Amino acid sequence: MKLVDALVAQAKRRQRRERKITAMTIGALLFLIIIPLTIVYASLALNGVFGISLSLEPYNSTFGLALIAIGLFFAGWAVWAQWNIGKGTPVPIVSTQKLVIVGPYAYCRNPMTFGVLLYYLGLILTVNALSGVIIVFAIGALLSLYIKLVEEKELELRFGKEYVEYKKKTPYLIPHPRKGRFRT
């Protein structure tokens, strides 16, 4: 697959700090502001068209804010681990130089995706946008498709047996704290 090969070649290049910061800024704008705002506005518009809402008041706001906090925590922790331990970023064109299997990555292989999806779901619950739940699940499915078809193959090519062993022992998306696994 050409995309996987291109990502592997890109990952082997030494990245300057400025390029990492630029990639992180663009990634943060996209995943923390642009995509969530698009989801919220599209969901509210669809709710208006179909006359539906998610009425779990007063619990939806409380639950939504909790999901936002947990999601941002996981996503932020994953970014921190990739930057400080992996010496890279979550952005594929400025990827990590080392395989990260500690911190949030000890609990699941994709803590950033887990965190971002919780963040989006929390936003949807907070604004009572029932149709947004479907949109968030569709985004989750697309992200999973990318991870399975591209990212996992790229990681296996770059990190070989170390990644394969990590993949066998660590859940895909839902964190699971097990004793004695890859922790520092």
Question: What is the pLDDT confidence band of residue 180, given thresholds at 50, 70 and 90?
Answer: very low
- pLDDT for 15 equals 74
Share of the chain above pLDDT 90, in %: 73
Lowest-confidence range among 48-52, 65-69, 158-162, 170-174?
48-52
Give 150-158's long-range contacts (Cβ < 8 A, gap of 24+): 150/1, 150/3, 150/4, 150/7, 151/92, 153/1, 153/4, 154/4, 154/7, 154/8, 154/11, 154/92, 154/95, 155/99, 157/4, 157/8, 158/8, 158/11, 158/12, 158/99
Q: For the segment 90-127, what is each residue's pLDDT rounded down to a tens digit?
A: 988 889 999 999 999 999 999 999 999 999 999 999 99
Residue 1 confidence (pLDDT) above 90 = no
Among candidate residues 34, 55, 53, 36, the one with its CA nearest the CA of residue 45: 53
Share of the chain above pLDDT 70, in %: 95
CATH class of 2-169: mainly alpha
24 alpha carbon, distance to own chain's centre: 13
Domain boundaries, the chain: 2-169
Q: For the segment 15-57, what is each residue's pLDDT rounded down to a tens digit?
A: 788 988 998 999 999 999 999 999 999 999 999 999 887 777 7
